[in-house]
Amino acid sequence: MADTSAAQTRGQLKRVDTILVDQPKPERSPYFELSLKYGVSVDWRTFIHVEGVPEKEFRKSRIRPDVFPSVIMTSKNAVDHYFRMCEEMRIKISPETKYFCLSEAIANYLQKFIIYRKRKVFAGTRDIQDLNTYLLRHRDNDQFLLPCSNLGSKPIISFLDEKSIRYTEALMYRTVSSDLSDLADITYDMLVFFSPLGIKSLFENFPDFKQNETRIAAYGQSTCDAVLEYGLTLNVHAPDKNVSSMSMALENYLMLSNKSNGKSK
């Protein structure tokens, strides 16, 4: 993980008054406590969003979701767009269809669309390896449909190929950059990113973006790498051996930046 000490010694520990977080605003968050504790204004704005592939475009793939007895669900977005596409194509999904979900949360989300039956829904804990036993049990008789986005599912595909599981990728939705033009004349003291796509969206919206005194915070190795690849200075990062969350990393930074200016609350 990148070292932030160099950035701090270059005077980057100026007080932070405004933060923009590249996520939807939650109902509850430790960021709210940071806002009160350090006198910081926190705004929320997603730099990317998901768009469904139009049904007319999807038909060109010649994929019929109803011919697949098993579906691998990697996210709530995959669930949403699988059922959306079936509805738009006027396809009736068999009640015997089996769903293999990467997590319990995704499995529970299925109840929004189907009558939940434990014998038809298989849930992992976090990743595709958790579904190994279930997938192998049905490997010889079933062909699996994998609803996915334009970003693909490399770890999933690698696993399925390794296990010789027959599957078909179905591009049903895309992750694209959001329109941020309304932020053109607004400057924040800190930007917080959780995905390399957020960094990409920043530069797609503002090709001439200059960091100047804006601090950049990033969560995850790939996001930190993207910050550096775009020639930006990384000031705050998580996780590492000392902090497990972005809110903890931000607090460590704010303790120094805002306390040093004598205005933290």
One-character DSSP codes across 197-209: HHHHHHHHH-TT-
CB atoms within 10 A of CB 222: 12
Each residue's pLDDT tens digit, 207-233: 999 999 999 999 999 999 999 999 999
**pLDDT reported for residue 10:** 42
**DSSP assignment, residue 172?**
E
Cα 50 to Cα 58: distance, rounded to the nearest angstrom: 16
Question: Within its chain, how far is the Cα of 84 from the centroid?
Answer: 21
Identify the pLDDT of residue 265: 46
Domain architecture of the chain: domains with CATH: 50-176 (3.40.50.10090)
In tens, the pLDDT along 233-256 reads 999 999 998 899 999 999 999 999
The pLDDT assigned to 261 comes to: 47
- Please report which confidence band the pLDDT of residue 6 belongs to, taking 50, 70 and 90 as the band edges: very low
Q: What is the pLDDT of residue 153?
A: 82
Q: Would you state the pLDDT for residue 13?
A: 79
User: Residue 260: its pLDDT value, please?
Assistant: 52
Enter the pTM of the model: 0.79
pLDDT in tens, 127-162: 899 999 999 999 988 899 999 999 888 889 999 999
Residue 161, judged by CB atoms within 10 A of its CB (0-12, 13-18, 19+), counts as: exposed
Name 219's Cβ contacts closer than 8 Å, sequence gap at least 6. Answer: 192, 193, 194, 237, 238, 239, 246
Structural tokens at position 234: 């990384």
Q: How would you classify the pairing of strands 18-21 and 167-177?
A: unpaired
pLDDT of residue 119: 74
Sole residue written with tokens 């040093």: 260
DSSP notation for 56-72: HHHHTTT--GGG-SEEE
3-state secondary structure of 4: coil
For residue 38, the number of C-alpha atoms closer than 13 Å in the C-beta half-sphere is 27
Q: Give tens-digit pLDDT for 9-25.
A: 344 578 999 999 999 99
Quote the DSSP letter at residue 53.
Answer: P
Scan for tokens 């939650």, then name that residue.
26
